Amino acid sequence: MNKPLNGLLIGCGFFSRNHLHGWSDVEGAEIGAVCDLDPARAEAYAKEYSIPEFHVDASILKSGAFDFVDICTTMDTHEDLVALAVEAGVPVIVQKPFAPDIETCRRIQANAEAAGVRVMLHENFRFQNVFRRLRDILDSGEIGETTFARLSWRNDIDVYTNQPYLTKTKRFMIMDVGIHMIDLARFLMGNADAVTCLNQSVKEGIAGEDAATMLLRHDNAATSIIDVSYASHRTPSLFPQTLGEIEGRLGTVQILQGEVLRIHSNRTTRDEKVEDDGRSWTSEPWIQIQDSVPKTQQHFIDALRSGQAFETSAEDSLQTYSLAEAAYQSADTGKLIEISSLEEVD
């Protein structure tokens, strides 16, 4: 039996509670220390989650004690923290958003690649059970080659109380939730090479957009519409569900409320209710998201051990973040942005 890999978790804030719970459900890994700039937070999280050590300085990564690092801080800190891990030769799983713009994402990725240090984005939506099942249905060929997708995330959850920095984030909605949807669109529909986008700031007093509508052109000429909003008032709230549909040449799969997939093929229709795994620490309304965290972490550990590619490696994720960059450029210019035009900027 292999010894569990020993990890350092950096960032003891709002979302890292889910990471710490998640790691306790992962096979083959454990968190040996937590780190936060705020010593009281680091100490409190170490105590609450029975972690042996806490630190305030991330350069503890250079101690040689860690087999991996889990970075759960906001995007503005990722370049420096990943660079530190790269210098220490420690593999990284880093939360989305990767970085505020594509140039920074590219620098982080190139630096890690040059040093041969593996980096994966913690992109958990594609690891939700409902989307793994949907991927299986697409792979079965039941609805044929995909031609159209609509992925819709609309709710009015109060993100601002738990994550006050979001009110000041200039690139807000596309980076916060749109990035999950772009990754899902790529996971389900394949790569895309052009984007148009319109952004809206509905809530008053925030620095960025809180709603965005994107249109992606995929490599096989299929299209995806992605719409995301934190300003959509409905009862009951749809948070944290992604709804929509995928059409193929032979049928359609609808993604309905309550993690139900409705499959139309061969002139028949059937519903499949997809269940989340039961975990002692998950709670409404977050279950669907929380449940996907240990699945994302397990993929990281399994791929680290086996040497297989990460589904959302830093390199692969450059395509996701290029599409987000193109969406912002499109919203600014009112034009369709070809991804190839971003590459020419280098």
Ligand X SMILES: NC(=O)c1ccc[n+]([C@@H]2O[C@H](COP(=O)([O-])OP(=O)(O)OC[C@H]3O[C@@H](n4cnc5c(N)ncnc54)[C@H](O)[C@@H]3O)[C@@H](O)[C@H]2O)c1
Binding site for ligand X (CB under 6 A): 10-16, 35-38, 41, 58, 72-75, 77, 81, 95-97, 124, 163, 165, 176, 289
Is residue 280 within 8 Å of 139, Cβ to Cβ? no
Q: Three-state secondary structure along 169-197?
A: CCCCHHHHHHHHHHHHHHHHHCCEEEEEE
Per-residue b or e along 216-254, where b marks 16 or more CB atoms closer than 10 Å to that residue's CB: bbbeeebbbbbbbbbbbeeeeebbbbbbbbbbbeebbbb
CB of 75 to ligand X, least distance (A): 5
CB of 329 to ligand X, least distance (A): 21
Indicate the residue among 283 and 306 with the shorter CB distance to ligand X.
283
CB of 60 to ligand X, least distance (A): 10
Indicate the residue among 33 and 222 with the shorter CB distance to ligand X.
33
Instruction: Determine the residue with CB nearest ligand X.
Output: 13
86: tokens are 């790269």
Indicate the residue among 163 and 319 with the shorter CB distance to ligand X.
163
CB of 37 to ligand X, least distance (A): 4
Indicate the residue among 296 and 330 with the shorter CB distance to ligand X.
296
CB of 180 to ligand X, least distance (A): 7
Is residue 236 within 8 Å of 162, Cβ to Cβ? no
CA dihedral 159, 163, 164, 169 (to 10 degrees): -90
Indicate the residue among 232 and 312 with the shorter CB distance to ligand X.
312
Q: Which residues contact 326 (CB under 8 A, 6 or more apart)?
A: 194, 195, 197, 337, 338, 339, 342
